[in-house]
Amino acid sequence: MTPGHQGRGGWAVAGEGNGTDQVRIARAALSRLFEPLDPVGVLLVAAFGPEEALRIASGRAPAADLAALGTALEDAAGPDPGRASGPRAAAARPGALAGALERWAPRVQHLAPERDLEATARLGGRLVIPEDAEWPAGLLGLGAEGPLCLWVRGDEPLPAAERSVAVVGSRDATGYGISVAGELARGVADLGLTVVSGGAYGIDGQAHRAALSSSAAGVPTVAVMAGGVDRYYPTGNEELLREVARRGHLVSELPPGASPSKHRFLKRNRLIAAMSALTVVVEARWRSGALSTARRAVDLGRHVAAVPGSVYSANSAGCHRLIRDGAACVTDAKEAYELVAPSGEGLAEDPSAPARAHDGLSLVDLMVLEALPVRRGAAVESLAVVAGLSEAEIRAGLGRLSLVGLCERSEGGWRRSRQA
């Protein structure tokens, strides 16, 4: 990208006047200036657009205009019944803009969007913005909570949400959870769906590994990061995340160099949910970050499923909680695929078991069968005593059982056949 400069109206690319380029630069700068879900920042972009929002947020709006801008923000917020204390209302309160400008001021001097764009390009990445055709439509469901932009590493276009499944769970996963996550993610990828997760240890990492082992065409997996896409976190998954960047996608709403922190992990979970048609929780404790991803998926109207585990395992307590609250119970990839496949397609077959000779017998016939001895024959009168039935019921039952080969007459009476 051609080096840029900071002009009176905002950052500009030297020698270029393309409006989309200016918007891209503005969104790149705002992604470093604002924390994800900054309430005033979100409202500022919604009210004035990214270029003007950058001018205001970087302190280049005249002080005399701040009062008018604050009023404009209040008007932009509009009525918000039932959320008087919510982020949107807080952002529109008098003085909110002045407080936000003070909060953002230390970062203004570090804004260098062209440098961030060039650094990402050197890694083979790019910045995707809502104005691009590539922008995932699934993110539109987040409304005002959508990201300003996405820093992306990976060659292929970002996959559509309707062809993606999030597989998430505990970092301290058990052997059972690791095994199930691997089989489920590999199966989902084999069916042509993209596996979305968070790149962490445990279930997330296993989901990415298993998806990468699939030979299906397309983007096998997407790792949504809580830091910059140039930082492999956790470091123990560096080789895995490098392979994800090579064959799939690393995605973040944070600029290069941004460090992961607890609140950023929680905020990025909304992106995992929004970029997927289905969120499957494989293992989760009673209070797990994976449950926040599931809750965001519910809010977005997406499918949520959980894998059951042992009732004695604390690692499955969150999954059982989700199932009790209405999440679908899934045990393999076909059951997961059934939830997102087009109507009438991908229906999982009911598991079959070998038929038994006594299947379909009436209660009376079962009572007669259980009364029959195995070796020596028994008389009808004796069978009636053992079964607690009348002699007529015994004779009728013996007739039906002999027709299906479950009993036979022998010396001394009736007994079970070898088939029974």
Q: Tell me: pLDDT of 355 over 90.
A: no
Residue 199 lies in a domain: yes
Could you tell me if residue 353 is inside a domain? Answer: no
Residue 84 CB neighbour total at 10 angstroms:
9
Average pLDDT score over residue span 208-222: 93
Examine the domain organization and report whether 180 and 109 are in the same domain: no
**Going along 282-327, which residue ranges are E strands?**
303-306
For the chain, give the mean pLDDT.
Answer: 88
**CATH number of the domain that residue 368 is part of:** 1.10.10.10
At 223-240, the pLDDT tens digits run: 999 999 999 999 999 999
152 and 200 both lie in a single domain: yes
Same domain, 29 and 66: yes
**pLDDT, mean of residues 51-65:** 80
Confidence of residue 375 (pLDDT cuts 50, 70, 90): confident
Q: How does residue 360 score in pLDDT terms, banded at 50, 70 and 90?
A: confident
What's the pTM? 0.80
**At a CB cut-off of 8 Å and minimum separation 6, what does 160 contact?**
136, 137, 138
210 and 288 fall within a common domain: yes
pLDDT at 159: 95
What pLDDT was estimated at residue 121?
A: 96
d(CA 192, CA 293) in angstroms, rounded, equals: 23
| Nearest alpha carbon to residue 256 among 145, 150, 154, 101 | 150
Domain count, the chain: 3
Residue 81: pLDDT over 90: no
Q: Are residues 167 and 313 in the same domain?
A: yes
β-partners of residue 37 are none
Asked whether residue 94 falls in the same domain as residue 236, the answer is no
Q: Write out pLDDT tens, residues 361-370.
A: 999 999 999 9
| Same domain (yes/no): 213, 245 | yes
Domain identity same for 64 and 160 = no
Q: Please tell me whether residues 102 and 167 are part of one structural domain.
A: no
Domain membership flag for residue 252:
yes
**Which stretch of 21-30, 134-143, 411-420 has the lowest confidence by average pLDDT?**
411-420
Same domain (yes/no): 296, 148:
yes
Band of pLDDT at residue 4, cut at 50, 70 and 90:
very low
| pLDDT over threshold 70, residue 94 | no
- In this prediction, residue 158 carries a pLDDT of 96
CATH number for the domain spanning 155: value is 3.40.50.450
Amino acid letter at 250?
Answer: L
Residues 268 and 374 in one domain: no
Is residue 349 included in any domain, yes or no? no
Question: Alpha-carbon distance 173 to 27, whole Å?
Answer: 37
> Within a domain: residue 83?
yes
Q: What is the pLDDT of residue 257?
A: 95
- On whether residue 128 sits in a domain, the answer given is no
Q: According to the model, what pLDDT value does residue 75 have?
A: 63
130 within a domain of the structure (yes/no):
no
Domain final position from 113, 147, 164? 113
Query: Which percentage of the chain shows pLDDT scores above 70?
Result: 85
On the question of pLDDT at 16 being above 60, the answer is no
- The amino acid that residue 108 corresponds to is V
Range of the domain at 43: 4-113
Residue 391, CB-side half-sphere exposure with 13 Å CA sphere: 5
Together in a domain, 311 and 171: yes
Q: What is the pLDDT of residue 204?
A: 97
